[in-house]
A and B are shown apart, each in its own frame.
Chain A
């Protein structure tokens, strides 16, 4: 169930991405239909960071930021009083120019240049007087800021993995003993435990494919002998496969869970992933669970979404101190996660049994789709806000 690996490297490697950015330059300079947005050229080098820039006044501005240095640069327009960032240009290659557009309001503005292997440079400050509202500035989040949340999260995952080991061992024992009814019940419990840990997919490395891989992409699909993990076991338990056939599958799952727990203390969480996962877990839930794609027979994808919501909430909890001062949309995140969770819970049948997505009526389905989609929209900014930045 791995989250797709995506997004280029974190900030330290200011690689690529240039071509696309460059293509836009001419267009932006001329196409601003916001009226007479002034265009200003700002040159940066490791000798000076916008040393001769000026601001005519408040309103929309497009700065053409030119890198006159021999190294890649990141250029931010900041409030020099507290380092809050109004706008940024990333990965600006030597000799290249990229637009930076913003609505300038009352306040203090200075360019800050970050060249690889050099200390940050901050240029002269320009103060815009009066009381005009402009684009807001946001305090950048640093790697340092993310260390404590990541540690907290790492510990939480470790605890979850111990539970996972216990639960997968119980499932394996049930399968070996031929208690397939108990195995089906235990399977769901253990799978939801794993799905709650969603934020750590990439950090689980190859273990995720072993423990929660889909049959997609395997030659032979569900008949592939290489297919292992929860979904493989689900397929067997709900498609009439016997204890004998499933014993090695269940044993392998339990062994992989133990392997992961053993490896976890030395596995690191990439700091950039902390924010990315806050929406990626539910992106996957939308793509694979809400569609029913990952239903290999148990009809429990709605339960999986419930677990994914809990995993998302844990990430939000550890990031909360960073988010509260930076993200005005945070209350809406909780509003929509609450609504989604309530709607998911309400689908359960008598005795708390989970229903397959496919049997929900259209109205209920659309309510859930709407809440999931809206939750994702309000979650998405968190990844941008909590991307670790140099300051």
Chain B
């Protein structure tokens, strides 16, 4: 927040952090922090077709196949609704932990496929909450499961299988972490076309796993429609978010950037098909932001707010030409997009597959809106990718307008290949 700026400078030049950030960028270890949550990258947006839109509204998105080498929720674009829930394992011993993962798998298999829940007869309460009607519609549901570093402590004898790059989440200098909203032995991300499908899935899974795990923290998020249609959904700062990402259709690129490669990287064999997941819960101080001049806003991000173009271009998908702008006269050197992805050969392998969601949690103590971003990203190596991006963002002007307060590092498990397989099987057997 505005603080030690030279008062004379603060008077004479454009104000606050934008400038201070620029001036302070050279200071070692300066305010790091801002989420990599704004890593606009390549490729063009893919607007939803009208039919898909109608299906979303009707809650009729088709099922996303659950079985596969990779978990199905990792590569697809952000869905309209999501919930991220971190749990601590309460299972008593390895056998119960295995039972827990089998149960999560069974429920996810059913919920993502949809169908009519079995009747309970006169032997039990209804087997389903009924929230989605008499038949469970899949509504595009994906269930993505991950494990945190704490699962590899002494409780389950998993220490020898700890993934090489799985650590507790680092606190970055500008973070304001609430310990109650950080970490977790497990994480689930449930995404679907509508909030009722997400909540239905959460209730169902929780009901079947009460003894085995207990929720630690939870946040719900949404992806806005692209406005105007055909562009890219916006975050709560009003800017298009996630304009681009590595090309998920490019297998070689995914193998370089997203999927863990146990053969070459010192990772245990069981991690094949997995990917590291970083979750960052980032409050946006939108009241402050809304009091900032549009030019300053755009300079902080590096894009036009209305159209999403890089400041040196006239199309959303254009690649900014930093070589032609070495002093940052057009796209400031401290702008978010320039720091997050400088588009150099050296920065190419720090790219991440990012999936952002907006969140809305009501109000804070002074009546301001508690809204912001659930930043999630997938990668092969958290240090090489997310943390490198985050480190480059140290001191960016945007840090004054955001406040990371929670999240965690997880390993999104390998996929469930068929009906007899289950999540974490390779880890537990």
Contact = CB atoms under 8 A, between A and B. Distances in A.
Nearest to B115: A33
Contacts of A86: 121
A274 B114 CA distance: 36
Interface string A378-391: 00110111010100
30 contacts: A27-B133, A27-B135, A28-B116, A28-B135, A33-B115, A34-B115, A34-B116, A37-B116, A85-B121, A85-B122, A86-B121, A87-B119, A101-B119, A136-B121, A136-B123, A137-B121, A140-B122, A366-B88, A369-B90, A370-B212, A370-B213, A370-B214, A381-B123, A381-B124, A384-B120, A384-B123, A384-B124, A385-B123, A385-B124, A387-B122
A202 interface: no
Interface string B95-138: 00000000000000000001110111111110000000111000
What are the 10 tightest A-B residue pairs by CB atom distance, in nearest-first order? A374-B211, A373-B210, A31-B135, A370-B90, A381-B124, A366-B214, A374-B210, A28-B134, A33-B115, A27-B134
B135 A32 contact: yes
A28 to B, nearest CB: 5
Given A33-B115, A87-B119, A385-B123, A369 B214 contact: yes
A358 interface: no
A36 to B, nearest CB: 13
Contacts of B207: 377
Interface string B308-329: 0000000000000000000000
A98 B249 CA distance: 49
Interface in A41-95: 85-88
Contact of A366 (B90, B118, B121, B122): B90
A166 to B, nearest CB: 39
A85 B121 CA distance: 8
Interface of B: 88, 90, 92, 114-116, 118-125, 133-135, 207, 210-214, 216
Contacts of A31: 116, 133-135
A228 B148 CA distance: 49
A88 B133 contact: no
Contact of B116 (A33, A85, A336): A33
Contacts of B124: 380-381, 384-385
Nearest to A327: B123
A138 B124 CA distance: 11
A363 interface: yes
A376 B134 CA distance: 24
B118 A103 contact: yes
Interface of A: 24, 27-28, 31-34, 37, 85-88, 101-103, 135-138, 140, 326-327, 336, 339, 362-363, 366-367, 369-371, 373-374, 376-377, 380-381, 383-385, 387, 389
Nearest to A100: B119
Contact of A385 (B116, B122, B210, B212): B122
B119 A102 contact: yes
A339 B212 CA distance: 13
A39 to B, nearest CB: 13
Contacts of A384: 120, 122-125
A169 B207 CA distance: 44
Nearest to B136: A33
Given A31-B135, A370-B211, 6 more contacts: A31-B116, A88-B121, A373-B214, A374-B211, A380-B124, A384-B123
Contacts of A339: 92
A135 B133 contact: no
Contacts of A336: 211
A87 B124 CA distance: 11
Nearest to B133: A27
Contacts of A88: 121-122
Contacts of A34: 115-116
Nearest to A381: B124
A136 B134 CA distance: 21
Nearest to B90: A370
A138 B213 contact: no
Contacts of B211: 336, 370-371, 373-374, 377
Nearest to A90: B122
A371 B122 CA distance: 25
A136 B121 CA distance: 8
Contacts of B92: 339
A19 to B, nearest CB: 15
Question: Which of B90, B114, B123, B125 has the largest count of A CB atoms less than 10 A from its CB?
Answer: B123
A28 B207 CA distance: 23
B200 to A, nearest CB: 15
B203 to A, nearest CB: 12
Contacts of A381: 123-125
A337 to B, nearest CB: 12
Contacts of B120: 384
A102 B116 contact: no
A336 B92 CA distance: 12
Contacts of A28: 116, 134-135
A28 B116 CA distance: 9
Given A31-B116, A31-B135, A138 B123 contact: yes
Contacts of A136: 121, 123
A7 to B, nearest CB: 11
A165 to B, nearest CB: 38
Given A27-B135, A377-B210, A33 B114 contact: yes
A369 B212 CA distance: 10
Contact of A363 (B88, B116, B121): B88
A138 B120 CA distance: 11
A88 B207 CA distance: 24
